Amino acid sequence: MKELLEQINAYYPLSEETVGALMNICTEEKFRKNDLLQEAGSAARYYYFIKSGLVGYYTVDEQGDSVYKIFFEEKSFVASTAAVIKDKPSDFNIIALEDCSVIRYPAKAFRELITKYHDLALFQIHYLEKNWVVKKEPLEISLKHETARQRYLQLLENKSLHDRLKQHHIASYLGITPTQLSRIKKK
Protein backbone atom coordinates (compact mmCIF):
# COMPACT_ATOMS: atom_id res chain seq x y z
CA MET A 1 0.00 0.00 0.00
CA LYS A 2 3.07 2.20 0.33
CA GLU A 3 3.15 2.97 -3.41
CA LEU A 4 -0.51 4.00 -3.38
CA LEU A 5 -0.03 6.38 -0.47
CA GLU A 6 3.11 7.89 -2.00
CA GLN A 7 1.23 8.58 -5.23
CA ILE A 8 -1.79 10.06 -3.43
CA ASN A 9 0.44 12.24 -1.26
CA ALA A 10 2.16 13.55 -4.39
CA TYR A 11 -1.19 15.15 -5.29
CA TYR A 12 -2.34 16.08 -1.78
CA PRO A 13 -1.17 14.83 1.65
CA LEU A 14 -3.61 12.74 3.67
CA SER A 15 -4.03 12.71 7.43
CA GLU A 16 -3.47 9.50 9.38
CA GLU A 17 -7.20 9.25 10.01
CA THR A 18 -7.94 9.48 6.28
CA VAL A 19 -5.23 6.95 5.45
CA GLY A 20 -6.76 4.51 7.94
CA ALA A 21 -10.23 4.90 6.46
CA LEU A 22 -8.89 4.50 2.92
CA MET A 23 -6.83 1.41 3.78
CA ASN A 24 -9.97 -0.22 5.20
CA ILE A 25 -11.54 -0.32 1.72
CA CYS A 26 -8.44 -1.33 -0.26
CA THR A 27 -7.45 -4.83 -1.32
CA GLU A 28 -4.49 -6.07 -3.31
CA GLU A 29 -5.41 -8.09 -6.38
CA LYS A 30 -3.56 -9.86 -9.17
CA PHE A 31 -4.67 -10.02 -12.78
CA ARG A 32 -3.11 -12.23 -15.42
CA LYS A 33 -2.33 -10.98 -18.91
CA ASN A 34 -5.60 -10.60 -20.91
CA ASP A 35 -7.82 -10.59 -17.78
CA LEU A 36 -10.46 -7.87 -17.76
CA LEU A 37 -10.42 -5.49 -14.81
CA GLN A 38 -13.58 -3.87 -16.20
CA GLU A 39 -15.94 -5.22 -18.86
CA ALA A 40 -17.84 -2.91 -21.19
CA GLY A 41 -21.56 -3.05 -20.49
CA SER A 42 -21.01 -3.83 -16.80
CA ALA A 43 -21.29 -1.46 -13.88
CA ALA A 44 -18.02 0.26 -12.98
CA ARG A 45 -17.63 -0.72 -9.34
CA TYR A 46 -13.93 -0.18 -8.66
CA TYR A 47 -11.01 2.17 -8.89
CA TYR A 48 -7.58 0.61 -9.40
CA PHE A 49 -4.03 1.67 -8.62
CA ILE A 50 -1.48 -0.14 -10.78
CA LYS A 51 1.42 -1.38 -8.63
CA SER A 52 3.01 -3.39 -11.44
CA GLY A 53 2.07 -4.24 -14.98
CA LEU A 54 0.39 -2.49 -17.87
CA VAL A 55 -3.31 -2.08 -18.65
CA GLY A 56 -5.20 -0.80 -21.66
CA TYR A 57 -8.48 1.08 -21.83
CA TYR A 58 -10.45 0.26 -24.97
CA THR A 59 -13.80 -0.06 -26.68
CA VAL A 60 -14.88 -2.19 -29.59
CA ASP A 61 -15.96 -0.55 -32.86
CA GLU A 62 -18.76 -1.62 -35.21
CA GLN A 63 -16.40 -3.96 -37.07
CA GLY A 64 -15.46 -5.73 -33.83
CA ASP A 65 -11.99 -4.19 -33.64
CA SER A 66 -10.48 -2.97 -30.37
CA VAL A 67 -9.93 0.79 -30.25
CA TYR A 68 -7.50 1.75 -27.49
CA LYS A 69 -8.00 5.11 -25.82
CA ILE A 70 -5.11 5.09 -23.35
CA PHE A 71 -2.60 2.87 -21.55
CA PHE A 72 -1.73 2.89 -17.86
CA GLU A 73 1.64 1.91 -16.39
CA GLU A 74 2.81 1.48 -12.82
CA LYS A 75 1.84 4.20 -10.35
CA SER A 76 -1.31 5.02 -12.31
CA PHE A 77 -4.91 5.21 -11.21
CA VAL A 78 -7.44 3.69 -13.59
CA ALA A 79 -11.20 3.27 -13.65
CA SER A 80 -14.10 3.74 -15.96
CA THR A 81 -14.48 7.11 -14.28
CA ALA A 82 -17.34 8.49 -16.38
CA ALA A 83 -19.36 5.32 -15.71
CA VAL A 84 -18.66 5.63 -11.97
CA ILE A 85 -19.75 9.28 -11.91
CA LYS A 86 -22.88 8.66 -14.00
CA ASP A 87 -23.65 5.34 -12.25
CA LYS A 88 -24.09 3.75 -15.68
CA PRO A 89 -22.53 0.67 -17.30
CA SER A 90 -19.06 1.26 -18.69
CA ASP A 91 -18.53 1.87 -22.40
CA PHE A 92 -14.96 0.64 -22.02
CA ASN A 93 -13.03 -2.51 -21.22
CA ILE A 94 -9.96 -2.30 -19.03
CA ILE A 95 -7.60 -5.17 -19.81
CA ALA A 96 -4.34 -6.39 -18.33
CA LEU A 97 -1.78 -6.23 -21.15
CA GLU A 98 0.77 -7.80 -18.79
CA ASP A 99 0.40 -9.65 -15.51
CA CYS A 100 -0.62 -6.95 -13.03
CA SER A 101 -0.64 -6.31 -9.34
CA VAL A 102 -3.18 -3.68 -8.36
CA ILE A 103 -4.77 -2.10 -5.35
CA ARG A 104 -8.52 -2.14 -5.83
CA TYR A 105 -11.04 -0.08 -3.93
CA PRO A 106 -14.83 0.12 -4.33
CA ALA A 107 -15.99 3.27 -6.11
CA LYS A 108 -19.08 3.68 -3.92
CA ALA A 109 -17.11 3.40 -0.66
CA PHE A 110 -14.39 5.73 -2.00
CA ARG A 111 -16.95 8.34 -3.03
CA GLU A 112 -18.46 8.15 0.46
CA LEU A 113 -14.98 8.75 1.93
CA ILE A 114 -14.36 11.82 -0.23
CA THR A 115 -17.53 13.40 1.19
CA LYS A 116 -16.32 12.69 4.73
CA TYR A 117 -12.59 13.47 4.46
CA HIS A 118 -11.70 16.88 3.05
CA ASP A 119 -8.08 15.94 2.33
CA LEU A 120 -9.16 12.93 0.28
CA ALA A 121 -11.55 15.16 -1.68
CA LEU A 122 -8.68 17.57 -2.36
CA PHE A 123 -6.54 14.67 -3.58
CA GLN A 124 -9.35 13.70 -5.97
CA ILE A 125 -9.71 17.27 -7.25
CA HIS A 126 -5.96 17.67 -7.81
CA TYR A 127 -5.74 14.27 -9.50
CA LEU A 128 -8.66 14.98 -11.84
CA GLU A 129 -7.38 18.45 -12.69
CA LYS A 130 -3.93 17.18 -13.60
CA ASN A 131 -4.91 13.97 -15.40
CA TRP A 132 -8.35 14.65 -16.86
CA VAL A 133 -7.88 18.31 -17.79
CA VAL A 134 -4.23 19.36 -18.09
CA LYS A 135 -2.85 16.05 -19.38
CA LYS A 136 -5.84 15.05 -21.51
CA GLU A 137 -6.34 18.34 -23.36
CA PRO A 138 -3.20 18.09 -25.55
CA LEU A 139 -4.15 14.50 -26.44
CA GLU A 140 -7.59 15.60 -27.60
CA ILE A 141 -6.09 18.39 -29.68
CA SER A 142 -3.50 16.06 -31.21
CA LEU A 143 -6.25 13.66 -32.31
CA LYS A 144 -7.87 16.45 -34.30
CA HIS A 145 -4.84 18.22 -35.73
CA GLU A 146 -1.89 15.84 -35.90
CA THR A 147 -1.11 13.01 -38.25
CA ALA A 148 -0.70 9.43 -37.12
CA ARG A 149 3.04 9.85 -37.71
CA GLN A 150 3.18 12.87 -35.37
CA ARG A 151 1.18 11.01 -32.70
CA TYR A 152 3.47 7.99 -33.08
CA LEU A 153 6.54 10.18 -32.54
CA GLN A 154 4.91 11.51 -29.35
CA LEU A 155 4.27 7.96 -28.16
CA LEU A 156 7.93 7.15 -28.84
CA GLU A 157 8.89 9.85 -26.31
CA ASN A 158 7.67 7.45 -23.62
CA LYS A 159 10.11 4.70 -24.66
CA SER A 160 9.30 2.40 -21.74
CA LEU A 161 5.59 2.41 -22.61
CA HIS A 162 6.22 2.08 -26.36
CA ASP A 163 8.49 -0.93 -25.88
CA ARG A 164 5.88 -2.73 -23.74
CA LEU A 165 3.06 -2.42 -26.28
CA LYS A 166 2.28 -4.81 -29.12
CA GLN A 167 2.15 -3.29 -32.60
CA HIS A 168 -1.61 -3.85 -32.90
CA HIS A 169 -2.14 -1.93 -29.63
CA ILE A 170 -0.11 1.01 -30.96
CA ALA A 171 -1.91 0.96 -34.31
CA SER A 172 -5.30 0.87 -32.59
CA TYR A 173 -4.32 3.74 -30.30
CA LEU A 174 -3.23 5.80 -33.31
CA GLY A 175 -6.38 4.93 -35.25
CA ILE A 176 -4.52 3.23 -38.08
CA THR A 177 -3.92 -0.30 -39.33
CA PRO A 178 -0.81 -2.31 -38.40
CA THR A 179 0.27 -2.04 -42.06
CA GLN A 180 0.08 1.77 -41.88
CA LEU A 181 2.08 1.66 -38.65
CA SER A 182 4.77 -0.41 -40.37
CA ARG A 183 5.04 2.24 -43.09
CA ILE A 184 5.36 5.02 -40.52
CA LYS A 185 8.08 3.11 -38.67
CA LYS A 186 10.06 2.56 -41.89
CA LYS A 187 10.15 6.31 -42.52
Burial 101-134 (b: 16+ CB within 10 A, else e): ebbbbebebbeebbeebebbbebbeebeeeeeee
Please state which of the ranges 38-52, 54-68, 131-145 shows the lowest mean pLDDT.
131-145
What is each CA distance from 124 to 22, 119, 128, 143, 187, in whole angstroms? 13, 9, 6, 27, 42
Positions of E strands within the chain: 27-31, 36-38, 46-52, 55-60, 66-72, 76-78, 93-96, 100-106
For range 110-117, the mean pLDDT: 97
Per-residue confidence (pLDDT) for residue 144, from 0 to 100: 64
Residue 43 banded pLDDT, cuts 50, 70, 90: very high
Task: Identify the sign of the CA torsion 137, 129, 30, 114.
Answer: negative
DSSP annotation of 132: I
- pLDDT at 6 exceeding the cut of 90: yes
